[in-house]
Amino acid sequence: MENLRHTFLKAVNSAGQYSAYAAPALSNDFNTLPELLQKFFHRCGYTGQEKIECAHIKWNDTILRLSPQANWSSMRCYQLNFLSEPVRLVYMSIKWYGLFPLEAVDIYKDAQGQMLVKLLKMIPISNAKGKEMDAAELVTILAETMIIPHYALQKYITWEVIDPSNIKGIIHHNGISASGIFHFNEHGDCTQFTTQDRYRAKKNNKYQKTPWTATANDYILKKGIRFPTKFSATWHTDNGDYEYFKGSIKSVELNKTEFSGI
């Protein structure tokens, strides 16, 4: 039985076709965007850059809570996103209760979302998929515009200005749409994304649409690119807020698909 590390690496290899389309971006690519997003592009150093077709997000010091009552667990996390078609590939590995290896892959590829979880690298724990997972993956991709601003240029995302500090993004793919609100601070940094369109997995393969917030903070400039170094995700449940993911971003490598040390 294949472990999920191999599943992830196979998905990375098969998705490599999308990186073949990289080409210089024209300046008027950005001029069609709302002013808030144009300012964000300029601030992050992306104007004049080559077209971004994939981004390797290098995570550092990621932690996860498997339930609102659980303790935080350290996690290894590897992520690659492709842009011309929405593709998001994430591999995660933690020690459950500090003892048992638990690994997961979180994938949106070929217009399908899936979350696979295995214990001890071979015992299936979860295989979440279906239209709700497709929508959840798409809205997560939309949120990651905060980390990868070139998502704003993709044909499957449209924009509606709400006010001088907030803009609505709508992602459309394979007959599914999801949306969320991006908040920009007074400096032009995108610091928060909120949505009502993300589904949370429940028992018995059921899903519940639950308000969700992602935050991005502590922007730095590295190799000419400005990106947030702190990222977190929170469910807003009927029983209160459940922050379940926190991570530091070490770097964002563009148009590179190589992984080492995984």
Provide the pLDDT for residue 25. 47
Under a CB-based contact definition with an 8 Å cutoff, are residues 169 and 195 in contact? Answer: no
Q: Which of 5-9, 164-168, 187-191, 204-208 has the lowest mean pLDDT?
A: 204-208
- Local confidence band at 126 (pLDDT 50, 70, 90 cut-offs): confident
H helices within the chain, ranges in order? 4-15, 28-31, 35-44, 131-143
Distance CA 123, CA 131 (A): 25
Mean predicted confidence (pLDDT) in 178-207 = 93
- Local confidence band at 26 (pLDDT 50, 70, 90 cut-offs): very low
Residue 191 has pLDDT above 90, yes or no: yes
Q: Which residues are CB-contacts of 75 (< 8 A; sequence separation ≥ 6)? A: 62, 63, 64, 92, 93, 94
> Which of the two residues, 52 and 245, has the higher pLDDT score?
245
134's torsion region: left (phi>0), alpha (psi -120 to 50) or beta? alpha
Asked whether residue 258 is assigned to any structural domain, the reply reads no
Residue 232 has pLDDT above 80, yes or no: yes
Query: Model confidence over 128-187: pLDDT tens digits?
Result: 899 999 999 999 999 999 999 999 999 999 999 999 999 999 999 999 999 999 999 999
Report helix, strand or coil for 41.
helix
Asked whether residue 153 is assigned to any structural domain, the reply reads yes
Residue found by looking up tokens 């429940």 in the block: 202
Query: Model confidence over 212-222: pLDDT tens digits?
Result: 999 999 999 99
Provide the pLDDT for residue 256. 81
Asked whether residue 133 is assigned to any structural domain, the reply reads yes
- Local confidence band at 19 (pLDDT 50, 70, 90 cut-offs): low
Assign residue 229 the CATH number of its domain. 2.50.20
- Local confidence band at 17 (pLDDT 50, 70, 90 cut-offs): low
Q: How far is CA 94 from the centre of its chain?
A: 19
Per cent of the chain over pLDDT 90 is: 69
**In Å, how far are 5, 58, 89, 199 from 77, measured between CA atoms?**
11, 8, 11, 22
Q: What domain range is 137 assigned to?
A: 37-253
Structure tokens at 177: 């749409």
Of 205, 187, 145, 136, the residue nearest 169 (C-alpha): 145
Provide the pLDDT for residue 1. 57
Overall number of domains in the chain:
1
Average pLDDT, the chain: 90
**In Å, how far are 23, 152, 153 from 37, measured between CA atoms?**
21, 8, 10
Per cent of the chain over pLDDT 70 is: 93
Q: Which of 13-27, 29-43, 191-205, 232-246 has the lowest mean pLDDT?
A: 13-27
Asked whether residue 20 is assigned to any structural domain, the reply reads no
Asked whether residue 25 is assigned to any structural domain, the reply reads no
* Type of residue found at 167: I
Provide the pLDDT for residue 100. 82
Asked whether residue 12 is assigned to any structural domain, the reply reads no
**In Å, how far are 156, 169, 178, 232 from 166, measured between CA atoms?**
20, 10, 17, 19
Provide the pLDDT for residue 66. 87
Provide the pLDDT for residue 52. 83
Distance CA 86, CA 252 (A): 17
Distance CA 155, CA 172 (A): 9
Q: Which residues are CB-contacts of 66 (< 8 A; sequence separation ≥ 6)? A: 73, 96, 244
Asked whether residue 102 is assigned to any structural domain, the reply reads yes
